[in-house]
Amino acid sequence: MKDLAAALSDIYSGFTNREMWARMAWTDVRMRYKRTVLGPFWATLNMAIFIVALGLVFSHLWKMELADYLPYLCSGFLVWNPITAIITESGSVFVAASGTLLQIKVPYSTFIFATIYRNFIIFLHHAVVYIGVIIVYPVPINMNTLLVIPGLLFIGVNSFWVGSVVGMTCARYRDIQPLLTNILQIVIFLTPIFWTPDMLRGRGRLALVDMNPFFHFIDIVRSPLLGKAPALLSWYVVSGFTVVGLLVAVYCFKKYRKKLCYWL
C-alpha cells in the first residue's frame, strides 16, 4: 500500500505542477525553432505541403473527389501526428531528463505531462492546415463537431499511460525505442489514414479497421472534424484502452518507480 500511495502521489503531484511542465513544454518548442523566422510554423508548412501533395496524388489513385479526400486525409493525419509523436518521444522521456532526475527530487510524471502538452501545442499549430483545407473544401459543422473535445481528452488521458509504460520500458530496455519507431512507420500504412475503411471488406476490414486501435483513436477526433459522429465501437475500444491502460500505468509506477533512477 505504501508503494501504491507513493505512485499515486507522484502522478498527482506531477499533474498539479502545471506551471513547471507547461513552461518546460513551451521552452522546448521555442528552442527547437530558435533563430528561425516562422518558428514552429515550419512544421506546419511541411505538413501543408505534404497533405496537398498526397491529396492530389491519392485522390486520383483512389478515384475520389479532392473536395472529399483532402479534408479526410488532413484530419486523419492531424490526429495521427501527436499520437505517434507521443509514443516515440515517450521512449526517451526519462532518459532525456536523467540529468534533472538524478540531481533534484521531481515527480517523474512531470516529464510525461510536459511531453503531452508540447505535442498539444504542436497539434494546435498543425490545426491551421486543417482550417485552411476546410475553408477551400467546407465540411459540415454541427453538434457532432463538439465531440472533438471528448475525443481529444481521451487521447490526452491515454497519452499519459502510454508515456508512463513506454518511458519506463525504454529506460530499462533501450532497444525498444527504435523498434517502436520502425513499427509505427509500417502502422501508418495499415491504418485508414491515406485510404478509407470502405475500401476493405471481410477479413481485411476486420483486421485493419475494426481490430486496429489506432483507427479508433483517430476516428473519435477525425469523424467530428468532418461533421460526423464516431462509431460506437470506437468509443468502446478507446474507453477500454483508457481503463486498462491507466491501471497498467499505476502498476508500473508502483512497481518500478524506485528502480527507474538506477536505469538512467
CA 183 to each of CA 138, 175, 187, 215: distance values in angstroms, whole numbers, following the listed order: 34, 13, 6, 15
The ranges assigned to domains in the chain are: 2-263
DSSP state of 104: S
pLDDT at position 37: 64
Helix axes 66-90, 176-190, angle to 10 degrees: 170
Q: Is the separation of the CB atoms in 87 and 164 below 8 Å?
A: no
- Confidence category of residue 185, pLDDT binned at 50, 70, 90: very high
pLDDT at position 260: 87
* pTM to 2 decimal places: 0.93
Cβ within 8 Å of residue 5, ≥6 positions away? none
Among the listed residues 201, 246, 196, 242, the one whose alpha carbon sits nearest the alpha carbon of residue 222: 196
How far is it, in rounded angstroms, from Cα 264 to Cα 259? 9
Dihedral, CA of residue 182, residue 199, residue 71 and residue 235, to nearest 10: -70
- Confidence category of residue 38, pLDDT binned at 50, 70, 90: low
pLDDT at position 202: 81
Residue 166 has pLDDT above 80, yes or no: yes
Q: Which residue has the cell 481490430?
A: 211
* pLDDT tens digits, 194-239: 999 988 888 888 889 999 999 999 999 999 999 999 999 999 999 9
Average pLDDT over residues 70-91: 95
* pLDDT tens digits, 9-19: 889 998 998 89
Residue 183 has pLDDT above 90, yes or no: yes
pLDDT at position 39: 65
Among the listed residues 189, 221, 18, 177, the one whose alpha carbon sits nearest the alpha carbon of residue 107: 18
How confident is the prediction for the chain on average, in pLDDT?
91
Q: Which residue has the higher pLDDT, 37 or 58?
A: 58
pLDDT at position 258: 85
- Confidence category of residue 41, pLDDT binned at 50, 70, 90: confident
How far is it, in rounded angstroms, from Cα 200 to Cα 59? 17
Q: Is the separation of the CB atoms in 107 and 17 below 8 Å?
A: yes
* pLDDT tens digits, 187-205: 999 999 999 998 888 888 8
pLDDT at position 32: 74
Average pLDDT over residues 77-101: 91
